[in-house]
Amino acid sequence: MSGISSTAEQCKNYDMAGAARDLLGSLRQYLEGFARRGAITKGAKIFHGEYSYDLLPDTAIIDFTNMARVTSVEAGECYVCIFTKPRYQGSYMIIGPGEKITPGACGSIVVGMRKLPVNAIRKNARPPDFFWELSGAKYQWHFATGYKYA
């Protein structure tokens, strides 16, 4: 019986307002990261042969498993870091606004509005905070027009 009363005492001290404040703070932080990106007129674009789709700024694609080889990448008005291996490993290339390349290998990619901290990305094997991180197939499922119906 003492275990139940002890738990009840601990629950009395639980601050619902504090928990709601923490939840709203986390949500605000996420939305700030989403809204911070600013307006662009031409986003990055990735090509798999004849098929292409736009890449949203502040997005990272962790791998392209079960997908056709990446044949070309356009930076648009963004900075794009292309890694030769999945999970942001291997050698990398950075292209800036207005550039277009044909990568020899593309295992993962990070797209941002500002210059990217490549050493931190490689060391942590994840993009900076507030970046969306998805696999290539999941990215297309959520953002590429027509992919859901193919």
Instruction: Give residue 130's pLDDT band: very low, low, confident or very high (50, 70, 90).
Output: confident
pLDDT of residue 17: 64
Residues 17 and 78 in one domain: no
pLDDT of residue 141: 82
Mean pLDDT of 111-115: 93
Residues 101 and 78 in one domain: yes
Q: Exposed, middle or buried by CB within 10 Å (0-12, 13-18, 19+), for 3?
A: exposed
pLDDT of residue 137: 87
Q: What is the CATH number of the domain that holds 93?
A: 2.60.20.10
Contact 106, 67 (CB under 8 A): no
Residues 53 and 111 in one domain: yes
Residues 7-44: pLDDT tens digits? 555 555 556 666 667 767 666 655 555 555 455 557 89
Residues 67 and 99 in one domain: yes
Residues 28 and 74 in one domain: no
Residues 69 and 107 in one domain: yes
Contact 139, 59 (CB under 8 A): yes
Residues 38-82: pLDDT tens digits? 555 578 999 999 888 999 899 999 999 989 999 999 999 999 999
**Domain with 115 in it:** 44-149
Going by C-alpha positions, the residue among 123, 127, 96 that lies closest to residue 33 is 127
Residues 70 and 118 in one domain: yes
pTM: 0.70
Residues 7 and 63 in one domain: no
